[in-house]
Chain A
Amino acid sequence: MKNDEKEIKTNQPETSTEKYSLNDDRRVKALSPGALVTKRFFRNRIAVIGMGILIFMFVFSFIGGLISPYGQDQFFYREEAQRKEFAAVTQNTEFRYATSNASAFDSSVQAQTMLAIIQGKSQFSYDGASYKIEKEGQDFYSVSLGGEVLGICFKDIVNSTTGTDQFSFDFKYNALKAFANEKKSFNADGVKYEMDEKGNILKNGKETAYVSRYIVKALMPDIVLSRDFKDKLLSAIEANEKKFTYTDENLIVEEENTEEPMTDSADSTGMMSENMDMPAENMEMPEDSKKENKATAEYDIEFKASKNTWEILQSIETHKYDTYSEPSKAHWFGTDKYGMDMLTRLMYGGRVSLLIGFIVVFIETALGVILGGVAGYFGGWIDGLIMRMVDIFYCLPSMPIIIILGAAMDAQRVDPTMRMIYLMLILGILGWAAIARLVRGQILTLREQEFMTATEATGIKISSRIFKHLIPNVIPQLIVNCTMSLGGVIITEATLSFLGLGVKFPFASWGNIINDVNNTFVLTTYWFIWIPAGVLLLLTVLAFNLVGDGLRDAFDPKMKR
């Protein structure tokens, strides 16, 4: 019996063997069966390499995750400067019109006025009425009909300081008049306003409006530019500067939305299930990110000759998910499509893959040993029944069934943790038949041997006869079988996760890391996303197979020859 672990130890340490005569039995070193197996195993160089790979994988997955500075579902962001058109500055070169009586000063009268101004006339007649033009200042004319000022033509514009106030004609007229004549104050609508030399109009010492030839307009209608901003911007333009920096607490900076990482597995290929599992709650911006919109902003000024405008481009620091970044010092294998550290994902993925492998094999083996042991020991109709069950399970096409169940779980939106448990149960239940068959076959031969008759004669109860005397003798084959099937289970799980039907986000698994390859762009551009995961997967499965092979040879040297 290989597993009767009765150690026949060497009586003496190595150095004392000299004492015995050559034909002394005690010179012969007898190793325990376990030690023999170990010795034979370690003599097999390939198996030892496999063992080494496995140890590395375990360290990588289980300890690596602890050492890694990042979490499994920790997102990373990057600041990206985007130049966006923010505002436009136009120097007004056209005459603008304002009137107190829109019907009397319509566009045809305006055209006539224009014509008269160009021709240098001081009056003109149109439609039977006689209009009088008076030059009030530089590029500023008033048109009167019958002694009353009807309208004005101007190039300097009266702007509201707040940007929202509307001004009356009287106000505009008087303000412009004061501006043209460089007066310190004027009256409009019965209120006294003061004006400084820069064209700012103050009411009771408070600025309400200003006169300027430039129009500064924000591109977005909901953005109101402050007077201070406009002033500084204009002085920058007049100084012919290309850059402009402005700091203001009240400046309303557009809040830039972070781009959501796209889940684009549903690409042109039309294959694979869509990743419907984008967890919305994880995609929210962290709280602190909003403070990132600084009050200081940089602007680029570009003059567009064709439109006679200056375009103000704002460089906005956009807070984005750091997706698909190249391998760097911070992220050795780059980041994935969610902006998570690839190396850490690989570690946690290895943990999930290995754990699933072990648990599934454990379920398989438990079911197989119990049912196979019972069938083999009792024989008769129990054996027949269990073996027909084995036949049925052998016959069930497992991959399609798992795919169907996976799709059903997708439809039900099963929680990812529960899903993982279901997956393990399904894989275990579909896989026990082979082990049951193996155990039964072994037991059929073993139960005819003398030691079983002995157990019967000593009156040991049936359950311990099966599980204490029969099963231990099957354990070598079981260990080999389990090691080999671990590799198979890991491949199955990876394949399912790859198809999007296995382990789901936020859990990582080597399979669902490679899943990204369904996106052709990732396949062609971002090797670091999927090649490392594939290599790890291949190495792990290969190592399990190598170790399984080595164990089989070690347990049963006859097989090796």
Chain B
Amino acid sequence: MRKYVLKRVLVSVVILFFVAFIIYALMRCLPTSYIESIARQKSMQPNSKSFEEWMAQLKVMYNLDKGIIVGFFAWIGQALTGQFGDSWFYTVPVLQKFNDTVWLSFVMGFIAFFLEIVIAIPLGIIAATKQYSRADYTISIVALAGISLPTFFFASLLKLLFSVKLGWFDLYGLISRDYDTMSVFGQLMDKGNHLVLPIVTLVVISMGSLMRYTRTNMLEVLNADFVRTARAKGLSEKSVIYHHAFRNTLIPLVTVIGGSLPGLFAGALITETLFGIPGIGFVSYHAMIAGDIPFSMFYLVFMSILTLLGNLISDILYAVVDPRVRIA
């Protein structure tokens, strides 16, 4: 087992190296619009150097004078020691900005994830046990609709209904205008209030796939021989479903859920941007639009690490949870 994990980790590191290189090369090949705009600004000032001179100086300053490969190794060397440089767009160290924003995204993602599990798994089981019933069709269609719903459209609908028509929530942002005058508890409630719509969006959008996954796996288990045996023994239907079948459905579910845990740190780029929640997704969206290479590099590599970690966790969990799986 330890050998397997070690091997997987090593392979992941190699993959990560190439992913980071591709991302770095991509970022470097893009027109460095950020630097150009700064150089243009600076050269506009009276008695200033020319645009070309500023560009040259800024390129040295921002480490863009080296070739892509040399630059990449310089970047990776610094990254290994935990130095990701300063964000160009936010003019603070990348890690500081990351630390300021990632926890908000995590809290939001975690609540949404929890609600998703609590809603999707029972509904998936109901749909599977009552296959071809009206409940099954309804749940299946709702799940598919959730998958098919474009985030931005759903978020806009929610805003129209709850923010504009009912006036329960603000349209944008994390805090109200009178945030500073509130008590500590009031501030917490205010933030919570602003997070309701984004979380609802996240839950509805991502619920569908888990629901369908649960249903498919539950159906598979319900058709297994041991369920027939359990029924033949004369066990009550409830006992068959929740004691025998559901436990076996848990195996794939746990691996999937475990695998998506790292993703909670990734933030919800679209949702956060739509609702103006200053989480990691929102912050990196604006950094990426502005062509902020240090921040974008960090965020993209961070996302890749999360993906690799998720795959690793789900593979390991699969072996841990299911005793039938043996890993050499």
Contact = CB atoms under 8 A, between A and B. Distances in A.
Given A271-B276, A542-B144, A404 B150 contact: no
A400 interface: yes
B141 A46 contact: yes
B61 interface: no
Given A408-B30, A494-B150, A495-B270, A396 B23 contact: yes
B240 interface: no
A523 B307 contact: no
Nearest to B33: A411
B300 to A, nearest CB: 6
Interface stretch (B98-106, B154-162, B178-186): B154-162
A412 interface: yes
Interface in A536-557: 537-538, 541-542, 544-546, 549
A395 B308 contact: yes
Nearest to B269: A399
B129 interface: no
Contacts of B149: 538, 541
B160 A404 contact: no
B296 A391 contact: no
Contacts of B285: 403
B288 A403 contact: yes
B219 A534 contact: no
A397 B300 contact: yes
Interface string B6-33: 0000010011101100110011001101
Nearest to A542: B148
B18 A537 contact: no
B270 A400 contact: no
A517 B156 contact: yes
Contact of B147 (A394, A405, A545): A545
Nearest to A501: B289
A546 to B, nearest CB: 6
Interface in B114-170: 137, 140-141, 144-145, 147-153, 156-157, 159-160, 164
A401 interface: yes
Interface residues of B, number: 52
A388 B144 contact: no
A104 interface: no
A272 interface: yes
A273 B289 CA distance: 8
A527 interface: yes
Given A400-B303, A545-B148, A407 B291 contact: yes
Interface in A337-394: 388, 391-392, 394
A534 B157 contact: yes
A561 B223 contact: yes
A401 B23 contact: yes
A520 B164 CA distance: 10
A272 B275 CA distance: 11
B152 A498 contact: yes
Q: Is the interface of A mostly helix, strand, loop or mixed?
A: helix
Contacts of B290: 407
A489 interface: no
Interface in A242-296: 269-273
Interface centre among B22, B148, B160, B276 (most CB of A within 10 A): B148
Nearest to A494: B150
A395 B141 CA distance: 30
Given A394-B307, A523-B159, A491 B148 contact: yes
A391 B15 contact: yes
B289 A407 contact: yes
Q: Is the interface on chain A under 10, 10 to 19, 20 to 34, or 35 or more residues?
A: 35 or more
Contacts of A541: 147-150
Contacts of A211: none
Contact of B144 (A394, A396, A491, A545): A545
A524 interface: yes
Given A46-B137, A392-B19, A538-B149, A408 B31 contact: yes
A412 B31 contact: yes
Contacts of A391: 11, 15
Contact of B160 (A396, A405, A499, A523): A523
A141 interface: no
B201 interface: no
A65 interface: no
Contact of B30 (A396, A397, A404): A404
A530 interface: yes
Given A395-B15, A411-B33, A495 B307 contact: no
A514 interface: yes
B26 A404 contact: yes
B171 A520 contact: yes
Interface centre among B11, B152, B299, B307 (most CB of A within 10 A): B152
Contacts of A561: 219, 223
Contact of A530 (B23, B156, B300): B156
A487 interface: yes
Contacts of B141: 46
Nearest to B34: A411
B150 A495 contact: yes
A400 B148 contact: no
Contact of A269 (B145, B152, B276): B276
Given A403-B285, A407-B288, A494-B150, A524 B219 contact: no
Contacts of B214: none
Contact of B156 (A269, A399, A487, A534): A534
Contacts of B304: 395-397
B200 interface: no
A396 B31 contact: no
A524 B160 contact: yes
B11 to A, nearest CB: 8
A534 B19 contact: no
A531 B296 CA distance: 33
A273 B304 CA distance: 25
Contact of B18 (A46, A392, A514, A527): A392
Contacts of A273: 289
A238 B273 CA distance: 64
A400 B151 contact: no
Contact of B150 (A394, A397, A412, A537): A537
A270 B160 CA distance: 19
A524 B164 contact: yes
Contacts of B157: 531, 534
Interface in B293-328: 296, 299-300, 303-304, 307-308
23 contacts: A46-B137, A269-B276, A273-B289, A388-B14, A388-B18, A395-B304, A397-B303, A397-B307, A400-B296, A401-B26, A404-B27, A404-B30, A407-B289, A411-B291, A491-B150, A517-B152, A527-B160, A530-B153, A534-B157, A541-B149, A542-B148, A545-B144, A561-B223
Given A392-B22, A404-B288, 8 more contacts: A269-B276, A391-B11, A400-B300, A403-B269, A404-B27, A408-B30, A499-B273, A561-B219
**Smallest CB-CB A-B distances: 5 pairs:** A534-B153, A541-B148, A397-B303, A411-B33, A542-B148
Interface of B: 11, 14-16, 18-19, 22-23, 26-27, 30-31, 33, 137, 140-141, 144-145, 147-153, 156-157, 159-160, 164, 171-172, 219, 223, 269-270, 273-274, 276, 284-285, 288-291, 296, 299-300, 303-304, 307-308
